[in-house]
């Protein structure tokens, strides 16, 4: 819910692996108001981006930092309060702020200016779900020339079908946790296929509450996500230990500077 909301509001693409210290200069919002929200309690965050303006209400700070630096939430290291403190932001885009990369830099600069955010990148070994090529090789079709990236999912009952166009393996590992119920993956998902380029493919499987849920396995139409990846795409998810990139918060102030 929160992730989809801020992605929609900011136009920011899904979390990947772009890291670095907070920007000091470069693209910035023309005008920005940042305030602590102390009245909304546990109500859901809201957001909107239209007519060159960004409006976020009751937004946790960890979401803002993670989206600014394109890092999955579980790879952000910082004080506990970044998940409980909420903020309201109203900002105006400059006319040339059209790309996702520009918007991310603007958000980085806003966090550095108002919250004095300083971060660094590191790596730590951890258990992961590694996406690898199965024994008999991948079953992937190269993306059609001139096609546009697109991902659409539809379902009936517990059966899900996701159509992907011009998708990379990095896109796939980012999408897998989004396609599943929250906390379905108990470990981060990383790409270790070694496959470059973009592909067109569809994936059909039976949605379950968690990775080890096989309660519907007696149904002839039951297809686990693990089996679907191997049978339909020639890929596998394996538990492995691998170094994970993280963003570590070195300094962050709870109260933003005055507007």
Return the pLDDT at 158: 85
SS (H, E, C) the chain: CHHHHHHHHHCCCCCCCCCCCCCCCCCCCCEEEEEEECCCCCCCCEEEEECCEEEEEEEEHHHHHHHHCCCCHHHEECCHHHHCCEEEEEEECCCCCCCHHHHHHHHHHHHHHHHCCEEEEEEEEEEEEEEEECCCCCCCEECCCCCCCEEEEEEECCEEEEEEEEECHHHHHHHHHHHCCCCCCCCCEEECCCCCCCEEEEEEEECCCCCCCCCCCCCCCCCCHHHHHHHHHCEEEEEEEEEEEEEEEEECCCCCCCC
Tens of each residue's pLDDT in the chain, 259 residues: 444 445 555 544 333 333 334 445 688 899 999 999 988 777 888 888 778 888 999 999 999 998 888 887 878 999 999 999 999 999 998 877 767 778 888 999 999 999 999 999 999 898 999 999 999 999 999 998 887 888 899 988 889 999 999 999 999 998 998 898 877 988 889 999 999 999 999 999 998 988 888 887 788 889 999 999 999 999 999 999 998 888 999 999 999 998 7
Return the pLDDT at 110: 94
What is the reported pTM?
A: 0.63
CA dist 104 and 112 (Å) reads 12
Q: Which of 236, 238, 208, 205 is nearest to 223 (CA)?
A: 205
Handedness of CA 10, 71, 99, 109 (dihedral sign): positive
């Amino acid at each position: 819910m929160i992730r989809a909301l801020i992605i929609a509001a900011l136009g920011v693409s899904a979390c990947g692996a772009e890291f670095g210290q907070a920007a000091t200069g470069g693209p910035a919002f023309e005008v920005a108001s940042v305030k602590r929200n102390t009245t909304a309690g546990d109500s859901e965050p809201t957001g909107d981006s239209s007519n060159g303006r960004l409006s976020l209400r009751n937004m946790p700070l960890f979401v803002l930092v993670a989206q600014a630096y394109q890092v999955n939430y579980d790879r952000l290291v910082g004080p506990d309060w970044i998940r409980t403190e909420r903020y309201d932001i109203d900002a105006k885009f400059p006319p040339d702020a059209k790309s996702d990369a520009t918007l991310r830099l603007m958000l980085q600069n806003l966090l550095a200016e108002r919250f004095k955010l300083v971060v660094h990148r590191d790596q730590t070994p951890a258990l992961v779900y590694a996406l690898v090529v199965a024994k008999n090789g991948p079953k992937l079709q190269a993306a059609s020339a001139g096609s546009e990236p697109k991902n659409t999912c539809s379902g009936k009952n517990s059966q899900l079908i996701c159509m992907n166009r011009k998708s990379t393996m990095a896109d796939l590992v980012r999408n897998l946790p989004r396609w599943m119920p929250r906390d379905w993956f108990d470990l981060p998902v990383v790409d270790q296929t070694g496959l470059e380029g973009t592909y067109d493919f569809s994936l059909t499987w039976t949605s379950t509450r968690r990775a080890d849920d096989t309660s519907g396995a007696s149904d002839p139409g039951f297809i686990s996500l693990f089996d679907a990846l191997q049978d339909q795409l020639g890929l596998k998810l394996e538990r492995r230990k691998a170094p994970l990139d993280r963003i570590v918060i070195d300094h962050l102030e709870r109260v933003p500077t005055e507007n």
